[in-house]
Amino acid sequence: MASTGGNLLQRTRCLYFYDVTTPCNKRTPGSGCSAINGINRGNGILGMSELCIATHPSDFCVALAALKAKIHVSGPAGNRIISIEDFHRLPGDKPEHDNNLERGEIITAIELPESKFTKHYTYLKIRDRLSHAFALVSAAVALEMDGDRITDARIALGGVAHKPWRVLEAEASLHGQKGDEATFAQAAALLLSGARAYEHNGFKIELASRTAIRALKQATNGTPQDQSSKKII
């Protein structure tokens, strides 16, 4: 449903998932993946499996990943808390499962741990048109800074994998560094380590790198992205 919990549970926008005349392992397990050799412009470049190369379409979840949100759930076995990094799944051998909710569990709350990212953050979304489009690539960045040095960093990518994509080594590479182009390029390279392209989505690897670097600049400069201005100030 169109709710906060529903946003976490939204399903992929892979074309074939919605075209019931085509094979899709996520819709019909064991039927095959039409995207791998089909129109895969919007599909994943990281964390895919041989059974599914879908991406998670949410923007909200990418920001939640950067903020290390905790998802409170309730079900027949009681209440529990799932960290956002453990909430969504990579497709693996069970692409029909988008997340780690158990049968009968519902989301009751989303908790955002306290952080010091109030001055240096951004969410940058790159899409085919300015509104009503899902991200080709997006980046959520949250930085803590002491002068011109980065003391804590989070960065999550959207539109590239079956779940919001974080790489702890990429974040660690920013610690203690000045926010300059070389540092950001190194972090972007670590984020995209192991990226793989299919016939139509090779452009997303370069696009994701540029998006990450630009979002890091934007957050460092303390000018959060909004929908009316795409300038880096």
Check residue 165 for interaction with ligand SF4 (CB under 6 A): no
- Which residue lies nearer to ligand SF4 by CB, 23 or 224? 23
Check residue 35 for interaction with ligand SF4 (CB under 6 A): yes
- Which residue lies nearer to ligand SF4 by CB, 95 or 159? 95
* Among positions 8, 34, 46, 167, the unique one binding ligand SF4 when judged by CB under 6 A: 34
Distance of closest approach, residue 98 Cβ to ligand SF4, in angstroms: 10
Check residue 24 for interaction with ligand SF4 (CB under 6 A): yes
* Bridge partners of residue 152, in order along the sequence: 144
Rg of the chain, C-alpha, whole Å = 18
Question: Can you tell me the distance from the alpha carbon of 143 to that of 149, in angstroms, rounded to the nearest whole number?
Answer: 10
Distance of closest approach, residue 1 Cβ to ligand SF4, in angstroms: 21
186 alpha carbon, distance to own chain's centre: 19
Site map for ligand SF4, 45-84, x if CB under 6 A? -------xxx------------------------------
198 alpha carbon, distance to own chain's centre: 19
Check residue 95 for interaction with ligand SF4 (CB under 6 A): yes
Check residue 218 for interaction with ligand SF4 (CB under 6 A): no
Check residue 25 for interaction with ligand SF4 (CB under 6 A): yes
- Give the DSSP per-residue string, 73-112: EEETTEEEEEEHHHHB---TT-TT--B-PPTT-EEEEEE-
Check residue 88 for interaction with ligand SF4 (CB under 6 A): no
| Ramachandran angles phi, psi of 57, nearest 5° | -90, -5
By the 8 A CB rule, do 50 and 92 touch? no
Alpha helices in the chain (DSSP H): 4-9, 15-18, 60-66, 84-87, 168-172, 181-191, 203-220
- Which residue lies nearer to ligand SF4 by CB, 39 or 185? 39
Distance of closest approach, residue 218 Cβ to ligand SF4, in angstroms: 31
Question: Can you tell me the distance from the alpha carbon of 63 to that of 138, in angstroms, rounded to the nearest whole number?
Answer: 10
- Which residue lies nearer to ligand SF4 by CB, 52 or 215? 52
Alpha carbons within 13 angstroms on the beta-carbon side of residue 50 total 1
Check residue 216 for interaction with ligand SF4 (CB under 6 A): no
Residues found near ligand SF4 in the complex (CB under 6 A): 12, 14, 16-17, 24-26, 33-35, 43, 52-54, 95
